[in-house]
Each structure stands twice: as structure tokens, then as C-alpha cells.
Amino acid sequence: MLRYFVVFYLFFGEFYARGMWLTPPGPKYPPTKGEVWPKPQIEVKGKTYYVLPSQFKFKIMDQTCDILTNAIARYSYIIVGNKIGPKARHTEPVSGLRPITNTDAFYKGYLNELEITLTSPCEELPHFEMDESYNLTVSSSSKLISSSIWGALRGLETFAQLFYISDDHNDVRVNETMISDFPRYKHRGLLLDTSRHFITLRNILKTLDAMAMNKMNVFHWHIVDDQSFPYQSERFPELSERGAYDPTMIYTKDDIERVIEYARNRGIRVIPEFDVPGHTASWGNAYPGILTECYENGRPIGLGPIDPTKNMTYKILRDLFKEVQNLFPDKYFHVGGDEVDLECWESNPDLINYMLANNLIATDLHALFMRNVIPLLANNTTPVVWQEVYDEGVTLSKDTLIQVWKYDWIIEMITVLMTGHRVLFSSSWYLSALDSEWTDYYAADPRQMVYDVIDDKTLLPGIVGGEACMWGEMVDNRNVINRVWPRASAVAEILWSYQDDMKHYDSRRLRVPREAYNRIEEHACRMIRRGIDAQPPSGPGFCVV
């Protein structure tokens, strides 16, 4: 009897709690039609529309280069190759030249071509200062204008997102539109950790595709860590031979060149991180001598962070960094510097003697290490470090980018900015908090948070951007794509679109706009159609693919 009661209670209790009596049928948030993510800065749409014919063409009017022709090939496939929406139920292809009845007053004919005017020669490589602005008009004569190849890439993505399928599934349509667009922050990144779980090249390339769909421009490759060392070094092959999880779980030079080239074609920079002196256990499989022996009760208990007092440490790092920097063309290089096990350093008899002899404490050792390591980087490098390096008082060049990731981030950002350094913000954007939703990430803007506390607008440009961080403990090759997308899309939109009209707001100002719930549904379906298995953003719904 009790059993029946429990079953009854579980069933109806649940039923009642979810308010199912009140739930209407259909998706929770119906997707929009042809709305762009991240939202353009200025966008005017009309009710008149054009239909996409199967012989649609891009037409290059001025400068061109391999990046542009490659992009046109990709977007031709997406737009004409039926990646816009579900296949028509009719036998003709969706974009077929079916005669359109002219009874619809808003129908303006076919959109036969898009003229692309790139007014300056292409740059070879994406970089921190790159110009990503563009203007796009969809009308009886449709035009994309940009003075940089990077802006042209962003504009092509926007153009592809404007199309939608008519309700009868017969046509691909695009409304009359005028867009003038540019990013708010220069550095819009995604950190991917490929050490805690190995992520295949295929999924890294997919991640870059998804980043381009979200106008993100920095792939922060946290390539090695304590658990495994998948980077295959030519100079130090033992590092991955002994430090990778498995001989198949490595990134060769060819793999890395492929990632960089794929990213370059999408206007995405690739910044490698070799996190030192902590997070280096996997280095010790090949080079135990560079790590510190940690002690407990006078007995060695295992290896901890890199030993900052050994000459061999710096010889290896110098040669390794030189090799890595020859491979990765970006001027920025991340040397980590977070979560150093200072207690291990304080337990080691040699380091105790060293500290006594030189009148140092453990944080001074950390500072000493970073002071020795940063000059090992190539001369024109801009170093990126986790906030601990700044917090522990290492003297850093003014251009050093400080990545803020801990609690009390507002006061940390203000302190960093007041000392003339630049901030990269991540604290609120840990995708590895798997129960956080896209709306949680959407409710944080670093410049706004700082401006709410201090009155000084001149400090704000020092916050150059941010990164969504996907640490790899609980994601592997099978779930990484859908755990990142579309949650990282929220970060992408804050960094690209959020209005820069700084006033003091209360935090409600950062609540998600109502229309974004519908727009992200369309965007998630769009990602799925283009091969990115995004998870449902907000609840019940469907995508026709």
C-alpha cells in the first residue's frame, strides 16, 4: 500500500510542481527567423523580402585574397547548399527557381548576388588590433563593404544568418536589411583545455567553426597541464612520449599548423598556453629533474611545481618556448602562472636553504620564477598571465595582459587597471560550471561591473575583452561541443554587442533581453544545421534540420 502511495506521490507531486496544468503545447521559446547572433550594433529591418535562387553568387568588387575566396566557397556551400533550413517538402530543391506568385506585396524578387567590396589589401594574420567592422545592405542591390578582410568575414557570417525558411518550407527568404556593425571588445576568446581529456583535431576544428559563427576571435589553447602533455615537441619528444595519455593522443606539428591555418581563415587568433610553474606534473614523466620534490614530515612524497632554482629548468623552457613560438604566429603567449603549490616549495630542504640564504618567502620564489621566464619569450611577445602573477607582485611590462579568473573580480580588475595594466576577464564565464546556463553568463559585463563601482570611464578600455573557459575535467571528446555551445554564445554576444553607453545601472540592466531567448533558439538550430551539435538553450523545443 505504501508503495502505491509513494508511486502516486512521486508522479503527481512532480506533475504539480512543474505546473504542467498550465503548460501550453509547443516550444518554450519559438525561434526567430533570420535574426543574427551576436546582435549587430546597428540593424534596421524591413518587411519586404527577397527569395534566394539556386544560382545566387557572391561578386568580388575590389581587393581579394585566399582568405576571401576560401570564405566565399564556405558561405556558398552554407547558403546555396541548403544549410539554411529544413529541406522543402516539395520535390524541387529549397532554393529552386520555382516561379513565385506575385500576390505578396512584400515580395521583391530574387536576391541574385551580393557585391563584396574590400577596400584595403588583406592582412596575412589576425591580430589584436585587427579591424572587424563592416556594413551590409540587403536590398535590390545587396552590398557588403569592409576595409579589412576580418570585417568581410564577420559580414559574410551575418549575411548567412539573415536567411530563413518560409513557413510553407518552399523558399529561403531574406528581409530587406541595413547593418552597420563592429565589435565592442577586441579580445573575444574561448579557452579549451586539451590536457584533462584529449580533444581530437576534428572537434578543435569544429570549435573554430562555431567560434566563427559567434564572431569570437581568440582560441586560447590550454594545451598541456598536470594530467597529460599532448603537445609533440621536436626538440623534446620525450615530453609527449612519456607525458601524453596515449601515443595516439598527441598534437603533431602538422596538426597544430592545420589548426592555425583553419583559424586564420576564420579571423581567429590561436594563443597557446604553457602553464608554468604549477600544473606541470606531466612534464615530470620525461624531466623529473625540473620539478620540485615535495616533503612531508621530513620525507619526500612526490613531485610538485617546477623548481625555480635549477638552471636546467630555464634551459628547457627557453628552447621549448622558442620552438612553440616559431610554430604559433600570434604575438601573444600565455605562460600561465596560476595555482602554484607554494607549500611544496616551502617543504623542500634545498628550497628552504635557498630562501633562507636569499631572504625570500615562497611568493618571492614565484615572482623570481616569472621574472626569469618571461624574458625567455621572443622579444616582441605580449605575455598573458593568470592573475596570481600580478597578485604576487611580479614586475610586469605594461602591455602584459592579466587574466582575471578568481572571486572578488571587480576589485581585482580595478586594481590591475589602476596600475596601468590590461585586463582579460573570465571569472563569470567558466563553462566548466556545468550547471550554469547561458543566461548566467549573459548577466556579466566586465566594463559595466567596473563602471558601476567607480566613476572613471578612462579606465574601461583597459578591459580589452574576455574568455569563456572550458576546463576539461568533466568534458571529453564526446560532450565538449554541446557543453560549450550555445552557452559560450552568451559570452560572445556580451563581448561583441553589448551597448557601450556607460551609465550607472543596477544589476538588472544586465538581465537577458526577452528577444534573446527566441534568437538563441534560432542560433542553436543554425549551429546544429552547420554541424555543431549544440544543446537546447532553455528548455523544450525542436529544430528541423
Ligand X SMILES: *[C@@H]1O[C@H](CO)[C@@H](O)[C@H](O)[C@H]1NC(C)=O
Catalytic residue set = 339
Among the residue ranges 42-50, 80-88, 121-129, 391-399, the one whose residues contact ligand X (CB under 6 A):
42-50
Task: Write each residue from 87 to 106 as x if it is in contact with ligand X (CB under 6 A), else as -, in one continuous string.
Answer: -------------------x
- The least CB distance from residue 45 to ligand X, in Å, is 4
CB atoms within 10 A of CB 84: 24
- Burial level of 299, CB count in 10 A (0-12/13-18/19+)? exposed
**Closer residue to ligand X (CB): 167 or 246:** 167
φ, ψ of residue 73 in degrees (nearest 5):
-65, -45
- The least CB distance from residue 375 to ligand X, in Å, is 7
205 and 532 Cβ atoms separated by less than 8 Å: no
Strand ranges inside 98-141, DSSP E: 107-110, 113-118, 134-138
Q: Single out the residue of 146, 214, 427, 497 in contact with ligand X (rule: CB under 6 A).
A: 146
Closest of 216, 213, 217 to residue 520, by C-alpha: 213
Single-letter code of the amino acid located at 271? I
Q: Single out the residue of 70, 76, 112, 133 in contact with ligand X (rule: CB under 6 A).
A: 133
**Closer residue to ligand X (CB): 49 or 425:** 49
CB contact set of 90 (below 8 Å; sequence gap of 6+): 98, 169, 170
CA atoms of 211 and 236, how far apart (whole Å)? 32
Among the residue ranges 93-101, 141-149, 229-237, 495-503, the one whose residues contact ligand X (CB under 6 A):
141-149
Helix (H) or strand (E) holding 181: strand 172-181
Coil vs helix vs strand at 13: helix
CA atoms of 484 and 469, how far apart (whole Å)? 9
CA atoms of 287 and 104, how far apart (whole Å)? 73
φ, ψ of residue 253 in degrees (nearest 5):
-55, -40
Q: Single out the residue of 37, 49, 229, 231 in contact with ligand X (rule: CB under 6 A).
A: 49
Q: Single out the residue of 45, 143, 186, 483 in contact with ligand X (rule: CB under 6 A).
A: 45
C-alpha distances (whole Å) from 129 to each of 134, 151, 404, 509 are 15, 12, 21, 29
Residue position matching grid coordinates 572613471 = 456
Cis, peptide link before residue 53, omega less than 30° from 0: no
CA atoms of 174 and 163, how far apart (whole Å)? 5
Question: What one-character DSSP code corresponds to residue 198?
Answer: -
Q: Single out the residue of 36, 52, 111, 145 in contact with ligand X (rule: CB under 6 A).
A: 145
Task: Write each residue from 368 to 397 as x if it is in contact with ligand X (CB under 6 A), else as -, in one continuous string.
Answer: ----------xx------------------
CB contact set of 28 (below 8 Å; sequence gap of 6+): 538, 539, 540, 541
- The least CB distance from residue 531 to ligand X, in Å, is 27
CA atoms of 179 and 174, how far apart (whole Å)? 13
- The least CB distance from residue 380 to ligand X, in Å, is 9
- Taking CB under 6 A as the criterion, which residues in 309-348 touch ligand X? 311
Task: Write each residue from 168 to 207 as x if it is in contact with ligand X (CB under 6 A), else as -, in one continuous string.
Answer: -------x----x---------------------------
Residue position matching grid coordinates 590550454 = 222
**Closer residue to ligand X (CB): 201 or 327:** 327
Bridge partners of residue 467, in order along the sequence: 189
174 and 138 Cβ atoms separated by less than 8 Å: yes
Helix residue ranges, H only, 359-472: 362-373, 387-391, 409-418, 438-442, 446-453
**Phi and psi based region of residue 353 (left: phi greater than 0; alpha: psi -120 to 50; beta: remaining):** alpha
* Sign of the alpha-carbon torsion through 345, 347, 353, 359: positive
Cell of 544: 528541423
**Closer residue to ligand X (CB): 70 or 180:** 180
Helix (H) or strand (E) holding 352: helix 349-358
Total residues contacting ligand X (rule CB under 6 A)?
14
* 297 in contact with ligand X (CB under 6 A): no
Closest of 315, 336, 324 to residue 387, by C-alpha: 336
The residue ranges that bind ligand X (CB under 6 A) are: 45, 47, 49, 106, 133, 135, 145-147, 175, 180, 311, 378-379
